[in-house]
Every structure is written in structure tokens, then in C-alpha cells.
């Protein structure tokens, strides 16, 4: 019997979890292709589109020659009236418009295997195993592979399944192909909150703030209730926007929906209010979190550090350590910023030791914070050692090292490093 193992990843939502990946294949060479195990034959040209998938399903089986053909939609392009979603106040959300890649099109490939059958190594077969399809989508390494798989779903009539549609939308987001994701989304007549969340999360991850909000409004206009997965994504958008009023309106809605005690929603609220310098409100919400995660602690610590309250930030940082919560690199960066502001070398070195202990000392943002801390606290040599560890320093790191030399009285060294920066083709900022 020919068989293939295909690793399966777990879906982000706990509603859908798959743990096995064994695919049962044909055991007899003359088995009828219309039996329960279904497959499609692709020619050698289409096989190359799937070669980069990490775990391709390749079978070495024999069967009676048959003609199999299917054609995928070529150069698909929908009119705005078919694909647009109306946003608030009559504005339209052009979901098929790729604002970052205007030249990209949702192109499919026409495949035809009606010619005489090729060698068995030129064939790819698909079964009805849901885990196999899930893993194919998850392991796609290029958008053309994803479109190839989607084309096969069209031939099987699975493209309108909410679970697979959400998987395709998440995969499209990985390749920044949101126009293609919108096309898949628009093909589903009855959209659940699970599918809306996938679409909202995709736009949120790529910082399309206004379009995310328009989708959120449209979701509710269609009678779909936001849940604990929707709200954190929208709160992230409110954090990125400069308008606090939008965030306040969302907070009021969260209260009405009964999600104010959800820890993920609370973390989003703390981050949003901290970003808008509403630290009293942020701290009030933080105190009401019963099971504080590292995200909870980090949100409030970074809020105080970024708004010029280093002592309060360090006080909360010490409370986090006493609570046995292991810090992540973001909380360490925030603590280092606070220690840099008060020029506390000893405490900054303690944070450095903590980073080494938990294996985060090579994180780029942490290296920048450490370099700035040592440079400002008078340890220019230690700062330069960390600076030299970075093969391609960013402008922020160049600035930290140069300003460190200037502060410590090494003007000529700072000027020489500035010339090195120009020579490296890094663009100085103001």
C-alpha cells in the first residue's frame, strides 16, 4: 500500500483542533477512481507548482488510464459591485483592492491532464482527509501553491466551507495577498463569526486600520455578534489610531456585550489606553485582571516607560518579578528604557543578566536598548561591544552609539562612527 504522512498543525481557534495526519491511499492498482477515496490527476507542469510544499503527497500507484481535467479560473477579476462591502456612512470597502501591491492579480492556472497518462511520479492525488487539506494550506510556501490548492477545492466544491475558507484567508494574510483573501471571503454566503474574525485579523495584522473598522461595522450590520476573538483585534486597531474616541466607543460596546472581564480584551484595553497616555484608566483596568499574563504586565510597564514615568514602570516591573511571571523581551526593553532614563547602571546590568538567563540577549530590540543604556550610563566600551555584535545596524542603533560617544566626551570617535554610518549607506535621521 502506498501511503504518505502529512504533518498537521493546530488551528489558532480551539474550536478546530486536529492531531493526526495519516492519509489512507489506494491499495489496489485497478481500484475505481470514483470510490470513497477521491483524487485528481495533475500533469507534470502543475506538479512543479507544489514542489516547494514541505510535505507533498506523492503516490507511486498504478491504475487504469482515465481522463481527468479541471480548469481553474484564469485571470479572475471581479467588478467592485460584486465584491465591495459598504462601510460606515455610505463609504465602500474595496476588498479586492491590494493597496500595497497594485500590480498583483488573483491569477489561477489552467490545468488539463486529458492527455495520455504520464509516469506515476508525475501525479499528485488528494483524498477526503480533512487533515491532509488543512496541512496543505498551512504548509504552502508561496501564493501560487495556495492558488493551486484553492483551484482543487473549486473542483471538489469545498471552497464554500467556512473552515477551509478561514484557513485560506489566514494563509493569504501570511503572503500579504489580502485582495485574494477578500475574493474567497466574498464567495461565502453565510459568514459566521469565525470567518469574520479571520478577515478582521488579517487586516489588523497588516495595519489596515480603517478597513478593519469597516469590516467590523459590516459584520454587525449582517447580524453577526462580535466575540472574544474579534474584540482584541479591533482594540489593536484602536491602539494604532490617533483617535481615542473610537477606542472609548469600542470600550462602551465591550461593556454592553459582557466582555470586560475577558483577559484578552482587558490586555487590549490596557495597551490602548496606555498608548493614548490614559495611564490612570489603563492601570485601573490592569488591577482588575485576575490572572495577569506576561502580556498584561508588559502592556502597563511599557505604558508608563513610554510616557515618561520610569520609576512607576520599574515598580511594576519588580512586582512582576515577585509574581514569578517570566518577562519577555518587550518587558525587558521597557525596563531598560526606564533604567536608561534614570541612568541606573547597576539595575540595567541586572536586566541584562536576566535577558542572558532566559536566552533573549540577541533580540534586536533588546540589543538596541542595552546599547543605549550602557552608552548613556558611561560604559561606552560595553556599548560598543554590543554594537559590534549586530551585522547590519539600524539607524536607531547607530544613533544610540553615536550619542553615547558624544555624551561621554568622545567627540572625534563619534564623528568617525558617523562617517562609518554614511559609508554603510544607512540614512541618517533628524
pLDDT, position 129: 62
Q: Which helix H or strand E contains 209, and what residues bound it?
A: helix 209-221
Beta bridge partners of 85: 93
pLDDT, position 36: 36
| CA-derived radius of gyration, the chain | 27
Q: Of 201, 140, 216, whose CA–CA distance to 166 is shortest?
A: 201
207 — alpha (psi -120 to 50), left (phi > 0) or beta?
Answer: left
Half-sphere exposure of 407 (CA within 13 A, CB side): 17
Segment-wise mean pLDDT, segments of 10 residues, the chain, 430 residues = 36 33 31 37 35 36 33 35 38 33 36 32 45 78 84 76 87 91 90 94 94 96 95 94 93 95 96 96 96 95 95 95 92 94 92 92 90 93 92 89 92 93 81
DSSP state of 326: P
Beta bridge partners of 244: none
CA–CA separation, 296 and 300 (whole Å): 7
Q: Which helix H or strand E contains 420, and what residues bound it?
A: helix 411-423
Residue 191 · residue 222 · CB < 8 Å: yes
Q: Of 378, 383, 302, whose CA–CA distance to 335 is shortest?
A: 302
Q: Of 367, 317, 321, 324, whose CA–CA distance to 342 is shortest?
A: 317
pLDDT, position 144: 87
Q: Which triple of cell numbers denotes residue 74? A: 484564469
Half-sphere exposure of 57 (CA within 13 A, CB side): 33
DSSP-assigned letters across all residues of 74-103 = -S----HHHH-EE-GGG-EE-TT--SS-TT
Half-sphere exposure of 136 (CA within 13 A, CB side): 29
Counting every residue, how long is the chain?
Answer: 430
What 3-state class would DSSP assign to 195? helix
343 — alpha (psi -120 to 50), left (phi > 0) or beta?
Answer: left
pLDDT, position 430: 64
- In sequence order, the 6+-apart residues with CB closer than 8 A to the CB of 23 are 3, 4, 5, 6, 57, 127, 129, 131, 132
Residue 344 · residue 367 · CB < 8 Å: no
Q: What are phi and psi of 113, to 5 degrees?
A: -115, 30
Q: Of 144, 136, 197, whose CA–CA distance to 169 is shortest?
A: 197
Q: Which triple of cell numbers denotes residue 301? A: 510597564
Q: Which triple of cell numbers denotes residue 244? A: 481615542
Residue 332 · residue 343 · CB < 8 Å: no
Half-sphere exposure of 124 (CA within 13 A, CB side): 21
pLDDT, position 156: 77
CA–CA separation, 404 and 375 (whole Å): 4
Residue 160: burial class (beta carbons within 10 Å; 0-12, 13-18, 19+): middle
Residue 4 · residue 135 · CB < 8 Å: no
CA distances from 148 to 11, 58, 88, 143, 209 (A): 21, 16, 35, 9, 30
pLDDT, position 223: 95
Alpha helix locations (H) across 70-187?
80-83, 130-138, 143-156, 162-174, 178-186
Q: Which triple of cell numbers denotes residue 273? A: 489606553
Q: Is the dihedral of CA 230, 144, 147, 215 positive or negative?
A: positive
Amino acid at each position: 500500500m502506498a501511503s504518505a504522512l502529512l504533518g498537521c498543525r493546530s488551528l489558532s481557534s480551539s474550536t478546530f483542533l486536529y492531531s493526526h495526519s495519516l492519509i489512507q491511499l489506494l491499495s489496489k492498482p485497478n481500484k475505481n477512481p470514483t470510490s470513497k477515496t477521491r483524487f485528481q490527476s495533475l500533469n507534470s507542469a502543475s506538479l512543479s507548482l507544489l514542489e516547494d510544499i514541505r510535505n507533498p503527497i506523492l503516490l507511486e500507484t498504478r491504475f487504469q488510464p482515465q481522463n481527468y481535467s479541471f480548469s481553474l479560473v484564469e485571470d479572475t477579476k471581479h467588478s467592485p459591485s460584486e465584491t465591495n462591502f459598504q462601510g460606515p456612512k455610505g463609504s465602500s470597502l474595496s476588498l479586492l483592492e491590494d493597496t500595497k501591491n497594485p500590480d498583483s492579480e488573483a491569477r489561477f492556472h489552467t490545468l488539463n491532464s486529458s492527455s495520455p497518462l504520464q509516469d506515476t511520479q508525475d501525479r499528485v492525488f488528494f483524498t477526503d482527509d480533512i487533515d491532509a487539506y488543512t496541512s496543505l494550506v498551512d504548509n504552502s510556501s508561496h501564493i501560487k501553491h495556495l492558488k493551486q490548492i484553492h483551484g482543487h477545492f473549486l473542483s471538489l466544491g469545498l471552497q464554500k466551507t467556512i473552515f477551509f475558507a478561514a484557513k485560506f484567508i489566514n494563509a493569504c494574510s501570511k503572503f500579504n495577498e489580502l485582495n485574494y483573501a477578500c475574493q474567497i471571503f466574498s464567495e461565502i454566503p453565510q459568514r459566521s463569526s469565525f470567518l469574520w474574525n479571520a478577515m478582521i485579523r488579517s487586516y489588523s495584522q497588516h495595519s489596515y486600520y480603517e478597513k478593519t473598522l469597516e469590516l467590523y461595522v459590516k459584520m454587525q450590520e449582517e447580524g453577526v455578534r462580535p466575540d472574544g476573538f474579534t474584540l482584541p483585534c479591533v482594540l489593536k486597531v484602536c491602539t494604532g489610531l490617533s483617535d481615542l474616541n473610537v477606542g472609548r466607543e469600542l470600550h462602551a460596546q465591550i461593556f454592553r456585550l459582557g466582555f470586560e472581564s475577558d483577559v484578552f480584551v482587558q490586555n487590549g484595553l490596557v495597551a490602548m489606553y496606555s498608548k493614548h497616555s490614559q495611564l490612570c484608566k489603563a492601570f485601573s483596568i490592569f488591577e482588575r485582571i485576575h490572572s495577569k499574563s506576561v502580556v498584561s504586565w508588559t502592556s502597563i510597564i511599557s505604558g508608563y516607560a513610554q510616557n515618561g514615568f520610569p520609576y512607576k514602570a520599574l515598580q511594576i516591573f519588580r512586582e512582576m518579578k515577585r509574581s514569578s511571571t517570566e518577562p519577555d523581551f518587550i518587558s525587558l526593553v521597557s525596563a531598560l528604557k526606564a533604567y536608561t532614563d534614570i541612568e541606573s547602571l547597576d539595575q540595567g546590568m541586572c536586566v541584562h543578566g536576566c535577558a542572558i538567563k532566559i536566552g533573549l540577549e540577541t533580540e534586536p530590540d533588546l540589543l538596541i536598548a542595552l546599547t543605549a543604556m550602557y552608552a548613556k550610563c558611561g560604559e561606552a566600551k560595553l556599548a560598543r561591544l554590543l554594537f559590534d555584535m549586530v551585522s547590519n545596524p539600524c539607524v536607531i542603533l547607530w544613533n544610540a552609539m553615536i550619542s553615547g560617544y558624544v555624551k561621554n566626551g568622545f567627540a572625534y570617535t563619534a564623528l568617525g562612527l558617523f562617517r562609518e554610518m554614511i559609508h554603510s549607506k544607512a540614512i541618517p535621521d533628524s
